[in-house]
Amino acid sequence: MGISSILLEIISLPVVQEDPGPPPDGGARAWLQILAGHLINAVTWGYSASFGVYQLHYTTTLNLPQSQVSWIGSIQVFLTFFVGTFSGRSADAGYARHTAILGSTLLVLGTFMTSLATTYWQIFLAQGLCTGLGMGILYMPSVAVIGTYFKKNKAMALGMAASGSGTGSIVFPLIVQQLQPRIGFPRAVQIQGCIALAFVIIINILLRPRLPPRKSGPLVEWRAFLEPTYALFTVGMFLIFWALYFCYFYITAIMLYGWIGIYSVPSMYVWTVLYGMTTAATQGIFVGGLASLTTDPSKTGVRFGMVCSVLAFASLAGPPTAGAFIQAQHGRFTWAQIWSGTVTIAGASFIAAARWSQRLAFRKEQVRERERRNPGTLAV
């Protein structure tokens, strides 16, 4: 059976028409959705983590300016986040499989086209635009689908899926880094594309929407930003992600302050491990924390996607902001590091405020519930 036959069979699968009831919070199919989400995170965020290897090839072998090359990675990450609103709403509307197939196609196509690119604009279009759009379109359906299979364990399920970014961050950079000296850059990227193709085939076979399509409703749920908890969480994550990609493109909070005292290679290794642990936790907690703010499973995709679209601008503005500090200090990183740590702490403060707001809303709901059960009593 060819790949085209498999894709046609996936698209032709029947769409759920009736509400299947409350989330099962387990079962074989639910765990397979986590596996699909794990692979999606591996092939999207893992792929973007390998950009440092690409960047080295572009600047040393192709002699492209560092400033131009950095835009390729920036646009790729920006698009991965930005299209979340649209792909998330598409998944909520019952097109999760179609959306995943489109994203898979663009991701794999962009990877193979990157292996053939030799000029800056060819690389920008293939790796920056094509793979960036592919990753953004592919990412959100997994979040939307997994959120409908779990209620009590939703944060844990999404966190397990998000851990796939760590898997991909090991696999994809190593492929190019280890194979490039032996078989050349184009062949190494093509092998990476073949592995990505294998991943997306498995993903599209496993991904199974559970709820009937939500056809009605706006493209963007603007009312969500009127919820204090959701708004505070969004602002907090914007600040954190504003500083998050600074290290990725030029090399949370306390670790960035700690970078100021790094003067040797061994200490840099130690700092890098600690920074990796904290940033990975930040991205994992982002998914799990946002899951607790979405009570309607049919709106999981669009509510996640809206926050991701906001984070797109933070991730795009972060490295240039840090670069401005570095340029003002004539190449020194001190003020950029202080800015990153301060912004991260500010973001964490907003997240803490969101948590406090959520607990306050929960207590008010408990009081209202007691009043409904006992109309004659007054809340103290």
Q: Which amino acid does the sequence have at 87?
A: S
Distance between first and last Cα of the chain: 68
Specify whether the backbone of 184 is left (phi greater than 0), alpha (psi in -120 to 50) or beta: left
pTM exceeding the 0.85 threshold for the entire prediction = no
Q: Which amino acid does the sequence have at 199?
A: F
Q: H or E segment at 103?
A: helix 96-116
Closest CA to 316 of 247, 248, 245: 245
* Residues ≥6 apart with Cβ < 8 Å to 97: 10, 11, 13, 141, 204, 207, 209
Q: Rounded distance, CA 144 to CA 141, Å?
A: 5
Q: Rounded distance, CA 357 to CA 208, Å?
A: 34
* Residues ≥6 apart with Cβ < 8 Å to 33: 142, 145, 146, 149, 157, 206, 207, 208
Q: Work out the angle between the directed axes of helices 28-49 and 51-60 (0-180°, nearest 10).
A: 20
| Domains of the chain listed by start with CATH number | 24-216 (1.20.1250.20), 219-380 (no CATH)
Q: Rounded distance, CA 229 to CA 73, Å?
A: 32
User: pLDDT tens digit string along 159-172?
Assistant: 888 888 888 888 88
Under a CB-based contact definition with an 8 Å cutoff, are residues 76 and 48 in contact? yes
Under a CB-based contact definition with an 8 Å cutoff, are residues 130 and 70 in contact? no
What's the token pair of residue 67? 């400033």
Q: For 289, phi and psi rounded to 5 degrees? A: -65, -45
Q: What is the pLDDT along the chain (380 residues), one digit of tens a residue?
A: 555 555 455 445 555 556 667 788 888 999 999 999 999 999 998 888 778 788 888 888 888 887 778 788 888 989 988 998 888 888 888 888 899 999 999 999 999 999 999 899 999 999 999 999 999 999 988 888 888 888 888 878 888 888 888 888 888 888 888 888 899 989 999 999 999 999 999 999 999 888 777 766 677 888 888 888 999 999 999 998 888 776 665 554 444 556 566 566 677 667 667 766 666 666 666 777 777 777 777 777 888 889 989 999 988 888 778 777 877 888 777 888 888 889 989 998 998 898 898 888 778 877 777 777 776 555 44
372: helix, strand or coil:
helix
User: pLDDT tens digit string along 312-365?
Assistant: 998 888 877 877 787 788 877 788 888 888 998 999 899 889 889 888 877 887
What's the token pair of residue 15? 């769409």
The alpha carbons of the chain give a radius of gyration, in whole angstroms, of: 22
What's the token pair of residue 170? 């090991």
Match 């074989």 to its residue by tokens: 28
